[in-house]
Structure 1
Amino acid sequence: MHSEASPTTLRQAGLFVLLAGQLLPQIDFSIVNVAMHAIAHSLHATATELELMVAVYGVAFAVCLAMGGRLGDNYGRRRIFNIAVFLFGVASLLCGVANSMWFLLGARVLQGIAAALLIPQILATIHVGLRGHAHSRALALFASISGLAFIIGQVLGGFLVAADIGGLGWRSAFLINLPVCAAILALSRRLIPETRRDNAAGIDVPGTMLLAFVILAVLLPLAMGPSMHWTWPVLAVLVAAAPLTLWLWKTELRQERRGLHPLLPPSLVRLPSVRFGFFVAILFYACWSGFMFVLALALQAGAGMAPTTAGNAFIPLGLAFFAGSLMSPRLVGAWGRTRVLILGCLIQMVGMVALGYTLHHVWPHPDILDLAAPTMLIGIGNSLVVGCFYRIGLADIPADQAGAGSATLATVQQAAFGLGSALLGSVFAQSLHQSAHLPTELVARYLDATLASLGAELCLMAILVCGAMVYHVRHGQPALVAGAAPAQSS
């Protein structure tokens, strides 16, 4: 277990500055979804380029996440936090002035790297700077920020794009980050204590590079397959993901045997709860990000919703997610982790079916009231799954490896976020492409593509439910997390 250089206290004002930093990358995810149609029109982006705009951010985030945690441990968390906020501001500026999709894609990669440097410093500073009730309260605030950020991002993104302030249009959705970054930098030095480890830990450069290659080997074929008609080079790159994954595993084994700190520690990956956590992350978070991408695009490009209206249409989902997050701990205490996870999946699936039914009957003129009930079900279901994800994934991990375990799960989670838009976006684009030769209006083709994507998501969630049931039968009483309160039965 690592030791800190000196005990520090994080005051409430410092906590709020940290949480403001957390809002930056999370709001950005929602804002980009709302601004996609305007970006496509302005920069003449293809569906593949839009998928990549969302995906490269998540991939860069995932690949650099563990490295961000190590840099903060070694060189000072406040220092890396400030560097990350500055980089996020620079990347946002580059996004805002982008004159081509390739320029924008490069800036989005830089944003993802900045986010990966930023988030670990927040959790680590809370962990070492607070104790007791203050620590629990801060973690609850950290968890609930996601729902709040989602709502703010959707509403703010829609407003900024529609308001067209100074003729900037969608660019203001990125440029709005600049004053926020400046304010955080101005306050952080005075309000956030500096913390670091006594013993510096190395960064797993080979593992980080190989993980990037594995993700890209899956991401690029999924994103570009429909537009390239799934030619043999596309399929060859996809197939290459298997040997690259094996190479990554052998590299991580070698790193661990040498007493180093691998990105994905094999000793942790062998634990059933961690492997199941990977399973949940890959299926659920890919579905979540893919759903947001497809629905935002369908409502604007297909149904012709204005950006403000499209953004507001997601408010019920965000509010339901926030409410469900507050209920989640009580439900887990009463029913156990995997039961609540399965319940969340089933509620989400009911919401998906209800959304598909609603869209089929009100298309091409859906409104907020039409979408409210099904998206609220989706929001509640998602919140229950999210509330159980880390509880399950960390269940068997000893306390002295909790940091490594959290980083490992978060890496897979963010990778799935990045891949989700490519996966369901590929289903969406393929459906549009296949129906292009049919005598069907474009509006109707967008509905069919949206329903096809929802159907693919339902299949993935059904696989997740089956896997959760198998895990529940085999591991009905997961081991307790060392140093934690007694866990509830699963």
Structure 2
Amino acid sequence: MNSSAVSPGRAGLLLLLTGQMLPLIDTSITNVALDSITHSLDASATQLELIVALYGVSFAVCLAMGSKLGDNYGRRRLFMWGVALFGLASLLCGMANSIGGLLAARTLQGAGAALIVPQILTTLHVTLKGSAHARAISLYGGIGGIAFIVGQMGGGWLVSADIAGLGWRNAFFINVPICLLVLAFSPRYVPETRREAHSAIDWQGTFSLALILCCLLFPMALGPELHWPWTLQLLLVAVLPLLVWMRASALRKQQRGEQPLLPPRLLKLTSIRFGMAIALLFFSAWSGFMFCMALTMQAGLGMAPWQSGNSFIALGVAYFLSALYAPKLIARFSMGRILLIGLVVQIAGLLLLIATFGHFGAHTSSLAMVPSTALIGYGQALIVNSFYRIGMRDISASDAGAGSAILSTLQQATLGLGPAILGSLFLTLAQRGGGTYPQALIDFLAVEVAMMLLLGAMALRLRHHLNIRPVATAS
């Protein structure tokens, strides 16, 4: 049971959606600023991977904990704690004088994002009903495209404008006044809600997940540069026993009637397992794509940050329009078919982008990429829309919270690991190709096409379970 609460109203909804945009905008802003950070802090390509990856991994590890803390201590309170932590971490990012300081601040920033995000959707579900709820959820779903555009354009402009000689630091400092405004008005306009029953936090599961992700992240990011020393190999080997330990602990908690971080009984469900496949193949490819494209645009093609940011406007606009149009598709087709449509459009966009770079090479312009990036953005939104709906297909109403937490954690974990794993692959391809980013990107995009084809093959194999046919014929 949740405590009763009043509607947040327009002002409260605006504050919640602003809070949601902060972590989303920051991801795209950071990608635009990578090349400037390289020159300012003398960062290596591997360290750039970690700037993106540590944020995502910290986000994933703390996400379920943030949700439970909101249930127990009040969602508005945790929302404000998260905004305050995010603002402080943004300030520390902008003030960082070393790459180590920036990496530490980015980790803290991910933890702040993990406190913010779970409170928003739960507050909307608890406080809004009927058409107001439907409108709010539509805005919540479409905000990703808006945040992407704002982050790319605004971040590129902030870095290029070099206001007060601060360069890339402004991309982080801009968060601070926004956080202060949200903190100032949230007590008045955002209603407080909490669960009446206490939600137990699986601290051991959270710690195990953190160890597993770190044992994957650091070897994959640092291994190629350090030529795979035995210490990094040992960390990779440690992943298997850590997984066994985490599963054994989860089984014991489940048998005692407790709620582990990743309940084994839910991990057996076909829909959850396929959701895991979508996370591993799509979300890691998505974050890896954005990281490698940002490097290619600036370090490979010599674009200024504002030019690099503008190169993805078509992707963001197409994503937003696709997210808005998705409900009409959902009314006509099953989620499995929508997933396949998204994959086909995404693959077409990737192949067109390969052809674009193959034709123009180092002279590829932002305008030349518009058709391909628009297709990629449109397909991405359909896949993301399918992710939770397909993943939650076999989940009972009583397990909805746990199932959603599993999928959210997997999504953020793979978004964090994508730049480390696929970024390392991209940099290896660039080194073997004599340091030519455009050719390395072509080879990298071919790998991404293969990943999408594999996901499509899995969807076709499960077509009966996913009900890949028009809904009208099924009823």
| TM-score normalised over the length of structure 1 | 0.94
CA distance in 2, matches of 1:149, 1:422: 23
SS in 1 for 2:363: coil
SS in 2 for 1:195: coil
Matches within 5 A, 1:322-471: 322-436=320-434, 442=435, 445-471=436-462
2:239 maps to a residue whose letter is: A
Matches within 5 A, 1:286-305: 286-305=284-303
Is the 8 Å Cα contact of residues 477 and 489 (structure 1) preserved in structure 2? Answer: no
In structure 2, the CA distance between the partners of 1:232 and 1:463, relative to structure 1 (3 Å rule), is farther
Matches within 5 A, 1:138-157: 138-157=136-155
1:32 to 27, 30, 39: 30
Say yes or no: does 1:190 pair with 2:188. Answer: yes
Show the counterpart of 1:244: 242
Structure 1 gaps, min length 5: 437-441, 479-485
CA distance in 2, matches of 1:349, 1:243: 36
In structure 2, the CA distance between the partners of 1:326 and 1:235, relative to structure 1 (3 Å rule), is same
Show the counterpart of 1:127: 125
SS in 2 for 1:225: helix
SS in 2 for 1:274: helix
1:199 maps to a residue whose letter is: A
Is the 8 Å Cα contact of residues 347 and 449 (structure 2) preserved in structure 1? Answer: yes
Identity across aligned pairs (percent)? 50
Q: 1:476 Cα deviation (Å)? A: 3.1
Show the counterpart of 1:439: none
In structure 2, the CA distance between the partners of 1:351 and 1:100, relative to structure 1 (3 Å rule), is same
Matches within 5 A, 1:462-481: 462-476=453-467
Say yes or no: does 1:84 pair with 2:75. Answer: no
CA distance in 1, matches of 2:60, 2:423: 19
In structure 2, the CA distance between the partners of 1:70 and 1:358, relative to structure 1 (3 Å rule), is same
1:358 maps to a residue whose letter is: T
2:403 maps to a residue whose letter is: G
Is the 8 Å Cα contact of residues 337 and 468 (structure 2) preserved in structure 1? Answer: no
Show the counterpart of 2:98: 100
Q: 1:489 Cα deviation (Å)? A: 5.8
Q: 1:228 Cα deviation (Å)? A: 1.6
CA distance in 2, matches of 1:463, 1:315: 28
Q: Point out the more displaced range, 338-347 or 15-24.
A: 338-347
Runs (4+) of structure 1 exceeding 4 A deviation are 486-490
- Post-superposition Cα deviations, 1:40-66, rounded to whole Å, max 9, x if no partner, equal 111011111000100000000000000
1:466 maps to a residue whose letter is: A
2:14 to 9, 13, 16: 16
Q: Point out the more displaced range, 134-143 or 248-257.
A: 248-257
Structure 2 gaps, min length 5: none
Q: 1:240 Cα deviation (Å)? A: 2.1
Q: 1:250 Cα deviation (Å)? A: 1.5
| TM-score normalised over the length of structure 2 | 0.97
CA distance in 2, matches of 1:82, 1:476: 41
Q: 1:147 Cα deviation (Å)? A: 0.4
Is the 8 Å Cα contact of residues 344 and 382 (structure 1) preserved in structure 2? Answer: yes
Q: 1:361 Cα deviation (Å)? A: 1.5
2:108 to 110, 117, 121: 110
Matches within 5 A, 1:119-268: 119-268=117-266
Show the counterpart of 1:483: none
1:461 maps to a residue whose letter is: M
In structure 2, the CA distance between the partners of 1:40 and 1:194, relative to structure 1 (3 Å rule), is same
- Post-superposition Cα deviations, 1:317-375, rounded to whole Å, max 9, x if no partner, equal 00011111122222232221111101211211111111011012112122221000000
Is the 8 Å Cα contact of residues 390 and 466 (structure 2) preserved in structure 1? Answer: no
Is the 8 Å Cα contact of residues 8 and 128 (structure 1) preserved in structure 2? Answer: no
Q: 1:112 Cα deviation (Å)? A: 0.2
SS in 2 for 1:417: helix
Q: 1:235 Cα deviation (Å)? A: 2.8
In structure 2, the CA distance between the partners of 1:312 and 1:268, relative to structure 1 (3 Å rule), is same
- Post-superposition Cα deviations, 1:422-462, rounded to whole Å, max 9, x if no partner, equal 121011111123344xxxxx4xx111221222122112112
Is the 8 Å Cα contact of residues 32 and 156 (structure 2) preserved in structure 1? Answer: yes
Number of corresponding residues: 474
SS in 2 for 1:260: coil
Q: Point out the more displaced range, 18-27 or 237-246.
A: 237-246
1:63 maps to a residue whose letter is: V
Show the counterpart of 1:72: 70
In structure 2, the CA distance between the partners of 1:339 and 1:475, relative to structure 1 (3 Å rule), is closer
In structure 2, the CA distance between the partners of 1:487 and 1:191, relative to structure 1 (3 Å rule), is farther
SS in 2 for 1:73: helix
CA distance in 2, matches of 1:117, 1:90: 14
- Post-superposition Cα deviations, 1:297-326, rounded to whole Å, max 9, x if no partner, equal 101000000110110010000001111112
CA distance in 1, matches of 2:41, 2:472: 51
